[in-house]
Structure 1
Amino acid sequence: MRDQLKYYLIPVILLLFSMPSIAQMEREKANIVEPVETFWTPTLISQATTEHLSVGNLNVTIMHSFGIATTNPIQNFFGLDNVQNVRLGLDYGITDKWTAGIGRSSLFNVVDFRTKYAILQQNTSGSKPISISLKADLGIVTQQNRQPFKNDLSTLTSAIISKKVNEQIRLQLSPMYGYFSSVSAGNQTHLFSIGMGSQINISDRFALMAEYYPIIGERNPDTKNTFSLGLNIQTGGHVFQLFFASTRWHLEQYAMAQNREEFWAGDFRFGFNVNRIFGL
């Protein structure tokens, strides 16, 4: 009987000694600090966000804009008969903080090379309350225009500052500088803006988004500040973005330089973005 009792007591004693260790492991797991997911995609509508691809992931994007929806709406089917600009893009996560990409827009056949790096990422502990990323973009007009190659270049540099306020609201500011190597008479070589963006989550699958490009200082003649409203739709591996925007451009420096429509005057167009991430 004494021997049998010994066999029962041994497992009970081992279990009692292991319980503090298990509790400690649970506490350590609960205290893991991770980066916060602020936005669902690396691009809001046309503005870059502080969201980055994981290392080795490839994001394939299709960005499409149509004609002004209010111009002869029945005849032009609310602008859908008039394709204005299509951008096809690839972005790759070199590290969890560094992304590089290439794209081509059908308007002026602009090829763009871009890179983005996270210097600060908001985390779950609150010790880093905001995210900051730096972005650079080089655009090259490849459409034949009989001008020197150096005159076909444009660049964009920006600092993107974002914050996940709560489970529903995300906000960001993007001081940005656009440069064009060659401009027509009266246009500006240097352009500045404080890009503004927001995302409001409605559910796990749907979110509203908005962005605005107020120009700071001198602007090109007859241009307006770009404004866009949209809807994010999560479908597992895809994120679809449906939007109305005043600009036909999907590149920030061109949205600053060439938008001539006023959103609130009814000069808006329909567009959509498709984002598909592949793990390589």
Structure 2
Amino acid sequence: MKAQLKIFLAPVILLLFSIQSMAQMERERANVVEPVETFWTPTLISQATTEHLPAGNLNVTIMHNFGIATTNPIQNFFGLDNIQNVRLGLDFGLTNRWSAGIGRSSLFNVVDFRTKYALLRQNTDGSKPISISLKGDLGIVTQENRQPFKDDISTLTSAIISKKFNEQISFQLSPMYGYFTSVDTGDNNHLFSLGMGTQINLSERFGFIAEYYPIIGEKNLNTNNAFSLGLNIQTGGHVFQLFFTSTRWHLEQYVLAQNRELFWAGDFRFGFNVNRIFGL
């Protein structure tokens, strides 16, 4: 009788143990803490975001904008006949928190080297409610201009603070400092701004984006605070960004220094960015 009871109870005990183990595994999976995807791309329109490339991934970017859409719109086809600036760039994820990149802009033939590091990343359990990243950029004018090499250098340093409030809305603040070794008379070597940016997800594929560069302190002569708004379109490995902007620059220090147009006065231009991520 005892032997029969043992034979009967053995599979029952084994079944109960399996159920308990599976439930425990499900609880462990449910409690996995991961970084929050605050933005879809490492760059919003021209401002860097707190989004980082995974280690070993390469992001190829094409950034393109045109002439003022409202200047002789019929003759210039809303500015599309006037190519203003194109930047080709490569960024590589050295680690999950640290990336480095290089790019070249057609305007002044500026070559830029940049790096970004994540100090803090917002996570899914709420124990880290915000993300903080540091970014540095070095720009070098390579166009022949008969001036010493040291006068062709500019730099940008920024701290990017972002938060994803819910599944739809993300927002960031970016205190930034731009420096130019050589400037025209009346302009400033040192420029400060509190950049602002947002992404509002309309669906899994579409998202509204906007950014603003209010200058803190003295501005350069004949410059205005830059503003841009656009649309993210996600198609698997690509993210296309279509936007209207007041600036012809894709580098933040030049946006601070040389934005001549005023968006709300109708001085805006069309542009687009293409982001393609490769897992290497």
Normalising by structure 2, we get a TM-score of: 0.98
* Match of residue 125 from structure 1: 125
CA distance in 1, matches of 2:256, 2:35: 31
CA distance in 2, matches of 1:42, 1:220: 28
Per-residue CA deviations over 1:219-278 (Å, capped at 9, x if unaligned) read: 101100000000000000100000000000000000000000000000000000000000
CA distance in 2, matches of 1:233, 1:23: 39
Look up the equivalent residue of 1:22 and give its one-letter code: M
* Match of residue 241 from structure 1: 241
Cα deviation for residue 60 of structure 1 reads: 0.1
Pairing 1:94-105 to 2, within 5 Å after superposition: 94-105=94-105
* Match of residue 107 from structure 2: 107
Cα deviation for residue 130 of structure 1 reads: 0.2
Look up the equivalent residue of 2:200 and give its one-letter code: I
Look up the equivalent residue of 1:243 and give its one-letter code: F
* Match of residue 70 from structure 1: 70
CA distance in 2, matches of 1:67, 1:12: 76
CA distance in 1, matches of 2:58, 2:26: 34
Cα deviation for residue 12 of structure 1 reads: 2.5
Per-residue CA deviations over 1:83-111 (Å, capped at 9, x if unaligned) read: 00000000000000000000000000000
Per-residue CA deviations over 1:30-52 (Å, capped at 9, x if unaligned) read: 11111000000000000000000
* Match of residue 232 from structure 2: 232
CA distance in 2, matches of 1:50, 1:138: 19
CA distance in 1, matches of 2:129, 2:3: 60
Per-residue CA deviations over 1:25-84 (Å, capped at 9, x if unaligned) read: 111111111100000000000000000000000000000000000000000000000000
CA distance in 1, matches of 2:30, 2:276: 31
1:189 lines up with 2:194 in the alignment: no
* Match of residue 84 from structure 1: 84
* Match of residue 35 from structure 1: 35
* Match of residue 139 from structure 2: 139
Number of aligned residue pairs: 280
Query: What are the ranges of 5 or more consecutive residues in structure 2 without an aligned counterpart?
Result: none
Residue 273 of structure 1: SS of its match in structure 2? strand
CA distance in 2, matches of 1:99, 1:268: 32
CA distance in 2, matches of 1:24, 1:16: 12
Query: What are the ranges of 5 or more consecutive residues in structure 1 without an aligned counterpart?
Result: none
CA distance in 1, matches of 2:77, 2:7: 82
* Match of residue 275 from structure 2: 275
Look up the equivalent residue of 1:41 and give its one-letter code: T
Residue 144 of structure 1: SS of its match in structure 2? coil
CA distance in 1, matches of 2:63, 2:17: 59
Tell me the percent identity: 82
Q: CA RMSD in A?
A: 1.3
Per-residue CA deviations over 1:131-160 (Å, capped at 9, x if unaligned) read: 000000000000000100000000000000
CA distance in 1, matches of 2:168, 2:48: 20
Pairing 1:146-165 to 2, within 5 Å after superposition: 146-165=146-165
Per-residue CA deviations over 1:176-205 (Å, capped at 9, x if unaligned) read: 000000001001000000000000000000
